[in-house]
Every structure is written in structure tokens, then in C-alpha cells.
Amino acid sequence: MTVIVDGVIILFLVIGAFLSLVATFGVIRLPDVYTRNHAASKAATLGVMSTLLGAFLYFYLIEGHFSSRILLGIAFIFITAPVSGHLISRAAYNAGIKLADSSIRDDLKDKNKR
């Protein structure tokens, strides 16, 4: 039983750390602000969420302490991360930051011209 519990906790923590690492790679590698935002707002969200879930399971199953604050933290990150990603890219667009050169379409330009 403890072996399974340990395995699950380790799995969650390793996935969380890996996703955060990949999000960092994405921020370095991708060409412009918008594509970087994809990496930061998705991979980092799930990374932090699974790290917190691993911590929650550790304290609940091994230490016997039910920490509801961690669950609340997961819920708050889940709600706020997509909104912050949206706001950052919207602010970038309105500040006139250009898309990457490989971009093939921009419908929003037509709207702002009208």
C-alpha cells in the first residue's frame, strides 16, 4: 500500500517539475510574446497544480493531515491562470507588439481598422 502511495506522490511531483521545466524551455524557445504565452499559461498551470496535488497527497496519506488550503490553492490557480494569460496577450496586442514573422493570419487587425 505504501509503495503505491509513494509511487503516486512521486509521479505527481515529477510531472509537475517536468511541466514547469518544459514551460521554461517554451518561454526561451518560442518566437513571440503570444506563443510564449501559450507555453507559460498552460504548461505552468498544470505543473503547479500537480505539484500541489502531490504535496496534498503526501500530507493526507502519510502524515494524516487533511490540508484544505492546498485544494483551495489548486482551485484558485485553475481559475486565475487562463485569465492572466488572456490579459497579458491582450495588453501586448493593444500596445502594438507584432506577431512572429511566421504568422499567417491576423483577423484582429481588420477589426481595429473599422
Query: What's the closest the beta carbon of residue 106 comes to other proteins, in angstroms?
Result: 5
Query: What's the closest the beta carbon of residue 55 comes to other proteins, in angstroms?
Result: 19
For other proteins, give the closer residue by CB, 1 or 114.
114
Q: In this structure, are residues 5 and 56 in contact, taking their beta carbons and an 8 Å threshold?
A: no
Q: How far apart are CA 4 and CA 57, in angstroms?
A: 12
For other proteins, give the closer residue by CB, 35 or 58.
35
For other proteins, give the closer residue by CB, 2 or 68.
68
Query: What's the closest the beta carbon of residue 60 comes to other proteins, in angstroms?
Result: 20
Residues 6 or more apart whose CB falls under 8 angstroms from that of 6 comprise none
Q: How far apart are CA 94 and CA 112, in angstroms?
A: 10
For binding to other proteins (CB under 8 A), which residues are involved? 19, 22, 25-26, 29-32, 34-35, 37-39, 41-43, 45-46, 78-79, 82-83, 85-86, 89-90, 93, 99-100, 102-108, 111
Query: What's the closest the beta carbon of residue 80 comes to other proteins, in angstroms?
Result: 10
Q: How far apart are CA 17 and CA 15, in angstroms?
A: 6
Alpha carbon 100 to chain centroid distance?
22
